[in-house]
Amino acid sequence: MTQLTHTDPGGTPNHSLVQEDWEALTFKVHRSAYRSPAVFQKETSRIWGHTWLYLGHETEIPKPGDFKSRTLGGRPLIFCRDSSGEIQVFFNACTHRGTILCRHSEGNTKFFQCFYHAWAFSNSGELAALPGDDAYADVPGFKERHRLRSVPRVDSHEGFVFISFDPDVPDLLTHLGEAAHYMSLTAKIGPQGMQTVPGVQLYSVKGNWKLAVENAMDGYHFAPTHNTFVGYLRETGFAVTDDDQYAYDLGDGHGLLILTGHNGRIGMVWEPRFGEAERERTVAKRQEMEDRLGSELAAEIADASRILYVFPNLLLFDLEALTIRQIEPVEAGRTDVRAWQFVETGEPDDVRALRIKTMVSFVGPGGLATPDDIEAYEAVQRGIEATADSADPAWDWSDMSRGMANEKQGNQGRSIDEGAMRSFWRQWSRRVEDDATPGA
Amino acid sequence: MGRRTVSRAEAEDFLYREAQLLDEWRLDEWLALFEEGGRMEVTTTDWNGWDSSSAGAFMCDDHDLIKARVKRLKSRKAHAENPHSRTHRMISNVIILEQGDETVWVAANFIIHRYRDNQAFTYVGRYEHVLVVDDDGLRYRLRRSIPTMESMAPGARLSFIL
C-alpha cells in the first residue's frame, strides 16, 4: 500500500482517498475526504449531479395542487402534484430572470406566480400568464420556450419519489437494485399503505454528510455511543444485544443492517415499553399480515428491524417505528437533515400516538439517542483538523478495517463490523475519483 | 371556577425559577415541577397547531420518558451533554391565556443562548404550558416548547431541555 500526502486532496485518480488492501487487511479513508472543499465540489457535481436522489414521498403531497419547496443537491426545487394529479418536479426559478418562483415551503395552488414581473405558471409548468405580452414576438412560441424547467428525470418506487438532474441515468429500479426489495418490505407493513405525517424534523449538523452515512451503517458504535439509551431500554425490560446481526452490501453503494436485538417493532415485535394493549394488537396484526402477505413474507417484514441506506441521500429506518431521513450536503463541514415519521395509513389513534412517541424518543436532535450520534459526527469533523498536513502523513487516515479478516473467509459481515461502510466508500470512490466514468 | 386565581406574577415566578434550575442543571428539582403523568413536547418548526400524537415532533415525552431523559442527562454517558452545555435563558411576554377548574394555560416567549465547544447557538420560541394549580403552587401537566426558527441551525441540537 502506498502512503500518500494529500496537499491537493481529490487530485489525480491514482491518489485515491480510499485505500483498500486485502493482503494487509486494511481499509483507510483519507480525512481530507471529509474536510476538503475541492472534494465537496466534486461530490456535488459527480454524485448529486449524476445519480438518482431521493426527493420526497408521494403522501407529502396527497391532493392536486399540493406542493413542497425543497432544496436538493443545492438546487431549489418545487415538488408538486398538478391539477390532474400527476407528480411534477420543477426547478424553483422563474424562467424569465431566475427569481425564486415559490417562496413558501408548502401549500396548495393552481398557479405559481413570480412576484417580480408577475409571470404565472400552472402547476403543470405552462407559462399561463405573461403580463404585457404584446411586447414579445411570437407569443405562443415564447411561452412554450419559457415553460417551467422540469427536473430531467422523475420516477418513484413504492411512493418514494426520486429525481435525477442527469437525463442519462439508468432506470430508477436499476439504480435501486436490491435496495428496492427492502423498500417494498417496509411499504407493505400497513394494510392500507404507508404515509408520511406532518411534523418534519429539520435540523443541520456541523459534520460532513458521509459521517451521517457511516454512522447509520455502523453497528459498532451502538453500545458505547448509545449507552444511556441502552440503559433506558434495560430499565423498561428490554435487553439490547448485538448477537447475530448482519450488514449487507446491496451494491452501488446501497447498504443494509438487519437488526434483531436493538428494539421491538410496533405492531410486529412486542417489547414491554409498548404496553399491554399493544401486546395483544401485535398478535392480531401479525395474523393480518400473514393473511394478506403469506407467512414467509410477513416474517421477513416483521421479524427484524432494518436500516436501509440508498445511495446517496436516503436513510430508511424501519425500527421500533419508521423514519425517512434525507441528507442534504451544504458544504464539506455542514449537512442539512430532514426526517419524516412514516406511519401506517388508517391505523388507530392510540397506535399512531405510541408510534410517534416511541420513534421520537430515539431519533432526531431531541431524542434520547440521535444527539449522541450528532455529537459523534461533529466531534469527528472537529477532530480531523488535528492531523491535516501532519508530520507523518499516515496519521491523516481513518481506519475502517474492522471485520475484514472475517469477510475474507467468506462470512457474512456482522452489523458491528465495518463492511457496510466499506461498500459505501468503494462506491463513493468510483463516483468521485474515477475520471473515466463521471455519469451513469 | 378555579380553586384560586393565578396571577401573571405567580406564573412568571414559576417560569423564572424553572429557568434557573435548568441553567444550573438542577434536573432532579426540575423534574419535581411536573405532576405525576405530566408530559413534555417540543414541536417541529413546521408545527401548525396539530396534536402531538398525530404528527412528528422534536420531543414527545410522557412522564416515564421525562424521567429517562433526566437520568440520561445526569449520566457522563450522555455524550451530547458531556460536558454540559452552558445555557442562559431569558423569559418574557408572559400571558395567562386561560384559567380553568384545575389548570391554568400560560404562554411566554423565550430566548435561550447555548454555548458549547466554543460555539454559540440561539434558540428562539414560545412556551404554551398547561399548569395544574395547587394550593401550594403550580405543576406541569403539559410543558410545550414551540421553536420559532425555520429549522434547527447548524449544530443546534436539542440535547438539553428547551
Domain ranges of chain A: 53-157, 192-433
pLDDT at residue A8, as a whole number = 40
Chain B residue numbers touching A278 (CB-CB < 8 A): none
> Within a domain: residue B160?
no
Terminal alpha carbon distance of chain A: 29
What integer pLDDT is reported at residue A3 of this predicted model?
39
Q: Is the pLDDT of residue A10 over 90?
A: no
Once rounded to an integer, what is the mean pLDDT over residues A106-122? 98
- pLDDT for B22 equals 98
Count of CA atoms in the C-beta half-sphere (13 A) of B145: 21
Contact flag B58-A360 (C-beta cutoff 8 Å): yes
Q: Which grid cell sits at A341? A: 415519521
State residue B52's pLDDT score.
Answer: 79
**Binary contact (A352, B60; C-beta < 8 A):** no
Task: Please list every residue in chain A whose beta carbon sits closer than 8 Å to the beta carbon of residue B44.
Answer: 199-202
Indicate the fold that domain A53-157 takes in CATH. Answer: Rieske Iron-sulfur Protein (2.102.10)
Q: B151 vs chain A: nearest CA distance in angstroms?
A: 5
A11 pLDDT more than 70: no
The pLDDT of residue A7 is 38
For B8-53, the pLDDT digits (tens) are 999 999 999 999 999 999 999 999 999 999 999 999 999 999 987 8
Is the confidence at residue A269, as pLDDT, over 50? Answer: yes
**Residue contact B53–A356, C-beta within 8 A:** yes
Tell me if B119 is assigned to some domain. Answer: yes
pLDDT at A377 over 70: yes
Any idea which of A6-15, A85-94, A363-372, B99-108 has the lowest mean pLDDT?
A6-15
What residues of chain B have any CB closer than 8 angstroms to a CB in chain A? 42-48, 50, 52-62, 64-65, 68-69, 71-72, 75, 77-81, 117, 119, 150-159, 162
Largest distance between two CA atoms of chain B: 51
Predicted interface score ipTM higher than 0.90: yes
Across chain A, mean pLDDT equals 94
Q: Coil, strand, or helix at residue B118?
A: coil
Q: Is B77 close to A227, i.e. CB distance below 8 A?
A: yes
Task: State the nearest Cα–Cα gap between B9 and chain A, in angstroms.
Answer: 31
Q: What is the pTM of this model?
A: 0.95
**Which superfamily, per CATH, for A192-433?**
Naphthalene 1,2-dioxygenase Alpha Subunit; Chain A, domain 1 (3.90.380.10)
The reply to whether B157 falls in a domain is no
Structural domain span for residue B37: 8-147
- From CA A317, how far away is CA A319, in angstroms rounded? 6
Nearest beta carbon to residue B47 from set A199, A364, A367: A199
Residues of A in contact with B77 (CB under 8 A): 227-228, 231
Say how many residues make up chain B: 162
Q: Are A364 and A315 in contact (CB under 8 A)?
A: no
Grid cell, residue B124, equals 428562539
**Predicted pLDDT at B10:** 97
User: What phi and psi values does residue B99 have, to the nearest 5 degrees?
Assistant: -110, 125
Chain B touched by A228 (CB under 8 Å): yes
Closest CA to B131 of B1, B9, B14: B14
A15 pLDDT exceeds 70?
Answer: yes
SS3 of chain A: the string is: CCCCCCCCCCCCCCCCCEEEECCCCEEEEECHHHHCHHHHHHHHHHHHCCCCEEEEEHHHCCCCCEEEEEEECCEEEEEEECCCCCEEEEECCCCCCCCCCCCCCEEECCEEECCCCCCEEECCCCEEECCCHHHCCCHHHHHHHCCCCECCEEEEECCEEEEECCCCCCCHHHHHCCHHHHHHHHHCCCCCCEEECCCCEEEEECCCHHHHHHHHCCHHHHHHHCHHHHHHHHHHCCCCCCCCCEEEECCCCCEEEEECCCCCECCCECCHHHCHHHHHHHHHHHHHHHHHHCHHHHHHHHCCEEEEEECCCEEEEECCCEEEEEEEEEECCEEEEEEEEEEECCCCHHHHHHHHHHHHHHCCCCCCCHHHHHHHHHHHHHHCCCCCCCCCHHHHEEECCCCHHHHHCCCCCECCCCHHHHHHHHHHHHHHHCCCCCCC
pLDDT at A89 over 60: yes
Asked if the model's pLDDT at residue A396 lies above 90, the reply is: yes
Which region among A98-102, A154-158, A225-229 has the lowest average model confidence (pLDDT)?
A: A225-229
pLDDT higher at B3 or A331 = A331
What pLDDT is attached to residue B51? 84
CA-closest candidate to residue B84, choices B93, B99, B73, B95: B73
Report pLDDT for B114.
Answer: 98
Average pLDDT score over residue span A130-139: 95
CB contacts, 8 Å: B43 with chain A: 199
Q: How many domains does chain B have?
A: 1
Q: Do A198 and B150 touch (CB under 8 A)?
A: no
Residues of chain A with pLDDT > 70, as a percent, come to: 95
* Percent with pLDDT over 90 in chain A: 94
* Residue A217 pLDDT greater than 50, yes or no: yes
pLDDT tens for residues A27-69?
999 999 999 999 999 999 999 999 999 999 999 999 999 999 9
- CB-based burial of residue A398 (10 Å sphere; 0-12 exposed, 13-18 middle, 19+ buried)? middle
With respect to residue B158, please indicate whether it lies within any of the assigned structural domains: no
Identify the closest residue of chain A to B152 by CA–CA distance: A203
Classify strands A160-164 and A75-81 as parallel, antiparallel or unpaired.
Answer: unpaired
* Residue B55 scores a pLDDT above 50: yes
Chain-centroid distance of CA B46 in Å reads 18
Confidence of residue B121 (pLDDT cuts 50, 70, 90): very high
CB-hemisphere CA count at 13 Å for A109? 22
Tell me the count of A-B CB pairs closer than 8 A: 140
Does some domain include residue B154? no
- Please say if the pLDDT value at position A187 is more than 50: yes
d(CA B30, CA B122): 22
| Average pLDDT value for residue range A186-212 | 97
Residue A76's pLDDT band, with cuts at 50, 70 and 90, is very high
Supply the pLDDT for residue A435: 60
Task: Specify the CATH number for the domain of residue B82.
Answer: 3.10.450.50
**Quick check: is B38 in a domain?**
yes
The whole-angstrom distance between B135's CA and the closest CA on chain A is: 32
Is residue B95 one of the residues assigned to a domain? yes
Res A436 pLDDT > 90: no
Asked whether residue B115 is domain-assigned, the answer is yes
Please count the CA atoms within 13 angstroms of the CA of A301 that sit on its side-chain side. Answer: 28
Interchain contact, A366 vs B47, CB within 8 Å: no
